[in-house]
């Protein structure tokens, strides 16, 4: 079942270009869609130029929101967390939503 889960992540320091490349490679090869959000800025982690420009304006003083979309998003987040382990001060789950079959809604 498809889910979308968001995590609030506090970073200890800015990511290096190598760490951004590792994150991008993982997302590009995985079955997940991963988005980063901070201060009204959103980046698709599967798009390296957008990911790079996102971190040029991101601040370690404010929490980063990591959104993982796909089947079993907590597994995807655990891989991401391992890639960024030395940069993460604290992380906690914010929201979790599951797609229900045969139910529709209009916004």
Q: What are the pLDDT digits (tens) for 10-46?
A: 988 888 889 999 999 999 999 999 999 999 999 999 9
- Token pair, residue 90, equals 């604290």
pTM: 0.82
Residue 43 sits at the vertex; the CA angle it makes with 80 and 89, to the nearest 5 degrees, is: 40
Q: How many CA atoms lie within 13 A of 8 on its CB side?
A: 8
**Calpha distance 80→65 (Å, rounded):** 13
pLDDT of residue 84: 82
**Calpha distance 69→97 (Å, rounded):** 10
- Tell me: pLDDT of 105 over 80: no
Q: How confident is the model over 46-92, as pLDDT tens digits?
A: 999 999 999 989 998 999 999 999 988 889 989 998 888 777 776 66
For the chain, what is the mean pLDDT? 85
């Amino acid at each position: 079942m498809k889910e979308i889960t968001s995590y609030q992540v506090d970073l200890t320091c800015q990511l290096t270009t190598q760490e951004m490349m590792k994150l991008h490679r993982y997302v590009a090869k995985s079955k997940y869609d991963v988005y980063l959000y901070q201060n009204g800025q959103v980046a698709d982690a599967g798009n390296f130029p957008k990911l790079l420009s996102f971190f040029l304006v991101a601040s370690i003083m404010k929490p980063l929101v990591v959104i993982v979309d796909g089947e079993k998003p907590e597994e995807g987040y655990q891989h991401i967390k391992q890639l960024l382990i030395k940069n993460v001060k604290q992380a906690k789950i914010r929201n979790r939503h599951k797609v229900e079959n045969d139910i529709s809604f209009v916004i």
